[in-house]
């Protein structure tokens, strides 16, 4: 590593979070670990390898490419693609033994034909819409669609699922989704259509709505601990730290400005540190003049706009800070901590975006443990 910007991932904290999930769900409830988009920016292979050793039941990915990547890396666990894929690519689901989300009858028929050709019955999960409005038929209009797929001889209706859009903010709407999903499953059951797995709970849904567990859950952010979850205290730990180093320090006189736009102008004499990280690394431009960093167990504010490769930090009169000192952008030092959710608040976005947009070119170091236990 020549350019001093890197990510540390604490696999012991990941294990802690996984065991916490196991603790709050019933023994018969399976876990689909959501590792899409490079495991929310943490690195899909090391995260999946750790989860595999912990006994995860299934991996959830966003694309067929991610599923193939896991298969080529040797993972044998079931893999569920949590999105629609064009029917012209159906053959890869059969070839790589990947479970498809089905929202199209044409795709299901193509998959059935390919499975029949090699003499297998291929598992699929049906997505029904109860309020997300993103994929799948509205649940009230899904019966005929599902009945037609059930008649395909080489398709196994392994799972049915839906998704919550406001599990963190609207108890009533989410409750109505759970009720609607449950009633629809019972309607199908009365028509002799059953599924091995029923699932709807994402991280917040899993934590806040025990009735949403059914017999499968899909944790994502709770695995990675990018925010403080209400009601669980320190039961969920952050696993990612983003760090850099001071590469230059300059003494500013009153009236001197920092960065593009000149929207930071020193009102008094101060020290400004240049740090090797920028928006090309996934550190958002919208953090300009808003974010803080930690250096030597103290908070310091950004000075001026985030650049493509650099940020500037106002050190005040801290003369004990030198070129080469560590700068924590996400992470903990002593009693101070900056979480992905803190950056999200400053940038007016969500922690999912902060983590998933961290550049894959940043070196990631996977630690057995950064914790005291």
Residue 129 sits in a domain of what CATH number?
Answer: 3.20.20.10
What is the domain range of residue 277? 240-338
Within a domain: 357: no
In this predicted structure, the answer to whether residue 292 has a pLDDT above a threshold of 60 is: yes
> Is residue 4, in this structure, part of any structural domain at all?
no
**CA distances, 237 to each of 39, 222, 251, 330, 341 (Å):** 16, 9, 38, 13, 13
Q: Is residue 347 one of the residues assigned to a domain?
A: no
pLDDT in tens, 337-347: 999 999 999 99
**How far apart are the C-alpha atoms of 289 and 261, rounded to whole Å?**
11
User: Residue 262: exposed, middle, or buried by beta-carbon count in 10 A (0-12, 13-18, 19+)?
Assistant: exposed
- The Cβ-side half-sphere exposure at 211, using a 13 Å CA radius, reads 12
Domain contains 366: no
Confirm if 60 and 201 have CB atoms less than 8 A apart. Answer: no
- Alpha carbon distance 137, 33 (integer Å): 25
Domain count, the chain: 2
Instruction: With beta carbons less than 8 A apart as the criterion, state whether 231 and 207 touch.
Output: yes
- Are residues 140 and 54 located together in one domain of the fold? yes
96 catalytic? Reply is: no
36, 50, 243, 292: the active-site residue: 36
**DSSP assignment, residue 10?**
E
- DSSP states of 103-140 as a string? --HHHHHHHHHHHHHHT--EEEEEEEESS--SSSEEGG
Tokens of 268: 């008094």
> Rounded CA gap, 157 and 142, in Å?
14
Tell me: do 58 and 152 sit in the same domain: yes
Residues 6+ apart with CB under 8 A from 158: 99, 123, 124, 125, 195, 196, 197
Phi, psi of 35 (to 5 degrees): -115, 25
Select which of 95, 260, 268, 361 is catalytic: 260
What is the rounded CA–CA span in Å between residue 47 and residue 76?
A: 15
Residue 232: the pLDDT is 85
Q: How many angstroms from the chain centroid is the CA of residue 220?
A: 5
Q: Is 260 a catalytic residue?
A: yes
Q: What is the dihedral of CA 176, 182, 185, 190, to 10 degrees?
A: -110
Q: Taking Cα atoms as reference points, which of 60, 126, 119, 61 lies closest to residue 94?
A: 119
pLDDT tens-digit profile of 223-253?
999 999 988 878 999 999 999 999 999 999 9
Give the model confidence (pLDDT) of 135-181 as tens digits: 999 999 999 999 999 999 999 999 999 999 999 999 999 999 999 99
The C-alpha atoms of residue 210 and residue 234 are separated, in whole angstroms, by 20
By mean pLDDT, which of 20-34, 101-115, 212-226, 359-373 is the weakest? Answer: 359-373
Q: What is the pLDDT of residue 337?
A: 97
In this structure, the strands spanning 240-252 and 5-10 are: antiparallel
User: Which tokens sit at 343?
Assistant: 């950056």
With respect to residue 58, please indicate whether it lies within any of the assigned structural domains. yes
Question: Is 305's pLDDT higher than 60?
Answer: yes
Q: Write out the two tokens for 166.
A: 């406001």
Residues 6+ apart with CB under 8 A from 265: 255, 256, 257
Looking at the fold, whether 309 and 280 belong to one and the same domain comes out as yes
Residue 293 has pLDDT above 70, yes or no: yes
Residue 51 has pLDDT above 50, yes or no: yes
Considering the domain architecture, whether residues 220 and 267 belong to the same structural domain is answered as no
Write the CATH number for 314.
2.40.37.10
Give the whole-angstrom CA distance, residue 349 versus residue 290. 13
CA-nearest of 183, 148, 181 to 162 is 181
Q: In this predicted model, what pLDDT tens digit does every residue of 184-226 receive, in sequence order?
A: 999 999 999 999 999 999 999 999 999 999 999 999 999 999 9
By residue count, the chain amounts to: 373
Per-residue pLDDT at 373:
39
Are residues 115 and 158 in contact, defined by beta-carbon separation less than 8 angstroms? no
Does residue 211 share a domain with residue 267?
A: no
Task: Let me know whether 244 and 221 are in one domain.
Answer: no
Q: Is residue 120 part of a domain?
A: yes
Percentage of the chain modeled with pLDDT above 90: 96
Same-domain status, 44 and 139: yes
pLDDT for 103 = 96
The arithmetic mean of pLDDT across residues 88-114, rounded, is 97
As a whole number of angstroms, the distance between CA 368 and CA 169 comes to: 35
């Amino acid at each position: 590593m020549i350019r001093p910007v890197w990510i540390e991932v604490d696999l012991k904290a990941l294990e802690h979070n996984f065991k916490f999930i196991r603790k709050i769900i019933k023994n018969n409830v399976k876990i689909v670990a959501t590792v899409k988009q490079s495991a929310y920016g943490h690195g899909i292979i090391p995260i999946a390898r750790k989860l595999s050793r912990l006994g995860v039941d299934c991996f959830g990915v966003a694309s067929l490419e991610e599923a193939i990547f896991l298969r080529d890396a040797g993972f044998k666990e079931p893999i569920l693609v949590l999105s629609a894929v064009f029917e012209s690519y159906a053959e890869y689901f059969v070839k790589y033994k990947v479970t498809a989300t089905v929202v199209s009858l044409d795709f299901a028929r193509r998959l059935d034909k390919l499975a029949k050709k090699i003499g297998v019955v291929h598992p699929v999960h049906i997505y029904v819409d109860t309020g997300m409005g993103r994929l799948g038929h509205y649940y009230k209009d899904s019966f005929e669609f599902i009945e037609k797929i059930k008649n395909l001889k080489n398709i196994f209706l392994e799972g049915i699922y839906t998704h919550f859009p406001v599990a963190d903010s609207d108890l009533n709407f989410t409750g109505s989704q759970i009720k609607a999903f449950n009633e629809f499953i019972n309607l199908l059951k009365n028509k002799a259509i059953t599924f091995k797995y029923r699932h709807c709970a994402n991280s917040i849904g899993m934590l806040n709505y025990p009735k949403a567990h059914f017999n499968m859950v899909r944790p994502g952010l709770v695995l990675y601990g990018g925010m403080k979850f209400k009601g669980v205290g320190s039961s969920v730990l952050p696993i990612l730290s983003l760090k850099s180093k001071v590469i230059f320090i300059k003494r500013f006189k009153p009236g001197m400005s920092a960065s593009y736009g000149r929207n930071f102008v020193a009102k008094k004499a101060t020290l400004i540190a240049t740090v090797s990280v920028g928006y090309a690394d996934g550190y958002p431009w919208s953090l300009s003049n808003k974010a803080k960093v930690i250096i030597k167990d103290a908070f310091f504010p950004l000075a001026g706009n985030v650049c493509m490769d650099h940020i500037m930090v106002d050190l005040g009169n801290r003369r004990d800070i030198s070129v080469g000192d560590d700068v924590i952008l996400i992470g903990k030092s002593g009693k101070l901590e900056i979480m992905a959710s803190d950056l999200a608040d400053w940038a007016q976005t969500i922690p999912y975006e902060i983590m998933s947009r961290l550049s894959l070119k940043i070196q990631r170091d996977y630690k057995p443990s950064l914790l005291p236990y």
